[in-house]
Amino acid sequence: MNTPMPYRRSGCSGILLPEISLGLWHNFGRNDSRETCRDIIARALELGICHFDLADNYGPPPGSAESRMGDLLSQEFRHHRDEMFLSTKAGHLMWPGPYGDWGSRKHLLAGLDQSLRRLKVDYVDVFYSHRPDPQTPLEETMGALVHAVRSGKALYVGLSKYPPELFHRACAILREEKVPCLLHQFRYNLLDRSCEKGILPALTEEHTGAIVFSPLAQGMLTGKYLSESGDVPVLPADSRAARQDSVFLTPEQVQKQTRLVRSLNILAREAGMPLTQLALRWLLRKPEITSVLIGARTVKQIEECARAAGCPPLPADLLEAIDALSGGE
């Protein structure tokens, strides 16, 4: 294990995030084992993974990941609150009617209040606008984030999935209010490099930290779906693609990526490391990535992912071989 966990600074701020952070989008819902959730959080803390990422709609059902975390925080980890860096988000569908979704001031601030109640905390460390709202004025959505900080319910604010131009405008509004955008969440992994020519350079310009989600492409980049031979994937029981309660990774998506994943897996084997390590270390090669936000269903998974932190850079010839397969910058 490469301990201690290295921490990276987010832009020009006091935020220091572990190279590997833990997201609770899956595996912390109502039907997941409380004991396993507790063991994952406890092991994460031991490994120096102090950042836990939530959103109001994580579960399933929506809200249940925050309720589970709130239960664990109040029952088991109360004394660790100041060591933890907790984030939540609002902006996806949560309740019926015109204020249950998107980016109005009403939705964001009601959503934050609900999150605080479920999490049983007085404040979160970061509050995000979970996605841009094409209908609500940007000034209103950013105004809600500013209010969250001024009212003491969030210490910092962030954005998620904003395209570059909108992101720059949002940053300008927030800067004017002296509540800078310090983190931006977006997808980045070996199967999806679209951010390299889009949001990533914009973040550098704005001095905003980058926290990247689905670094293992929801598990595809662990090689777990590869069969011994042929391009027909296997679906291990309990895996995300096999679970009925997860609609975000389908067997069809897995099938589509099998050939590329197989080639990357061969590269990883030749380099003497598991594909999971290659995928995470490849992201950490970039100093502008503040943290890589993984999901974990078991303690073993989080231990394996944490091993990618603090490793030496991948050699140049390996990076070139990866570019040749997955499309360079």
Q: Which stretches of the chain bind ligand NDP, using CB under 6 A?
A: 23-27, 53, 130, 160-161, 185, 213-219, 222, 224, 239-240, 276, 293-297, 301, 304-305
Compare residues 27 and 257 and give the one whose CB is closer to ligand NDP: 27
Nearest approach, Cβ of residue 296 and ligand NDP (Å): 5
Distance, in Å, from the CA atom of 109 to the CA atom of 153, rounded to the nearest integer, reads: 10
We find the least distance from the C-beta atom of residue 225 to ligand NDP, in angstroms, to be 9
- Residue 308 makes CB contacts below 8 A (sequence gap 6+) with 19, 20, 276, 277, 280, 281, 284, 292
Amino acid sitting at position 23: G
Choice between 92 and 105, CB closer to ligand NDP: 92
For 17, phi then psi, to 5°, come to: -110, 145
Least distance in Å: CB of 106 to ligand NDP? 21
Report in angstroms how near the CB of residue 83 gets to ligand NDP at its nearest. Answer: 19
Please state, in angstroms and rounded to a whole number, the distance separating the CA atoms of residues 87 and 125.
6
Closer residue to ligand NDP, CB minimum distance, 34 or 178: 34
Residue nearest ligand NDP (C-beta atom):
23
Minimum distance from residue 129 beta carbon to ligand NDP (Å): 10
Which residue number, 211 or 314, has a Cβ lying nearer to ligand NDP?
A: 211
**Max CA separation in the chain (angstroms):** 57
Can you tell me which residue has the tokens 């990276």? 8
Amino acid identity, position 46: E
Q: Which is nearer to ligand NDP, 114 or 253 (CB)?
A: 253
Determine whether 38 is exposed, middle or buried from the number of CB atoms within 10 Å of its CB (0-12, 13-18, 19+). middle
